[in-house]
Amino acid sequence: MKTITVLGGAAVAFAAAHTLIAAEPKAMVMTQPDAPVVITKYTARYLSAAKASEQGVNHRIEYTNRSERRIEALEIGFVEFNVWNEHLDTLFGNDLDAVTAGRSGEGSWLHDPPAAFTFYTGVAYISRVRFDDGEIWTADLDAIAEHLKSLEANFSVEKLRPKGR
């Protein structure tokens, strides 16, 4: 920890960037009533590492197929906010392991957006689901964006759309 003296003799302490906040990061799940998959557990935290390929925000989920159908692919949206509740980035994690009705799965994704060390809040939601018959269920992005305005007042639904989609 460094101590810097400022005018008037007062001292202010600053922590290193990777330990900017002493509190645990927040991980929130956006539940959608009609989603065929429910996220049952979600954790998100910044990992500091000597190798760039091993550092970033680690998102880990567990989920359950609550539909009566076999799922062929699942896309999870992860929205990242910094310590100031400003949008850092959005990541889309894909799980291509088939999951039969009532069964569970899990996954982990590492993402290193610019200024990842300022990560504080992660929000996970089911973005898309592909069933074995080819039908694709898609999340209501407007509803998710509206809820995320509680974190960042000017949050836009465009931040939930992958580039090129």
- Domain edges within the chain: 21-160
Torsion sign, CA atoms 23, 152, 45, 3:
negative
> 47 or 52: which carries more pLDDT confidence?
47
- Name residue, tokens 């580039």: 163
Residue 22's pLDDT band (boundaries 50, 70, 90)? low
Residue 54's pLDDT band (boundaries 50, 70, 90)? confident
The predicted pLDDT at position 57 comes to 94
> 54 or 12: which carries more pLDDT confidence?
54
User: What mean pLDDT value characterizes the chain?
Assistant: 86
Domain 21-160 has CATH 2.60.40: yes
Q: Residue 3: pLDDT above 70?
A: no
The predicted pLDDT at position 52 comes to 72
Task: Please classify residue 91 by burial: count the beta carbons closer than 10 Å to its beta carbon, then call 0-12 exposed, 13-18 middle and 19+ buried.
Answer: buried
Q: What gap in Å lies between CA 162 and CA 15, rounded to an integer?
A: 34
Pairing of strands 119-131, 26-29: parallel
Per-residue pLDDT reduced to its tens digit, 95-140: 999 999 999 999 999 998 889 999 999 999 999 999 999 999 999 9
Q: What percentage of the chain has pLDDT greater than the value 70? A: 85
The pair of structure tokens assigned to 123 is 């929000």
Smallest CA-to-CA distance from 77 within 67, 66, 87 is with 87
Mean pLDDT, range 56-80, rounded to an integer = 97
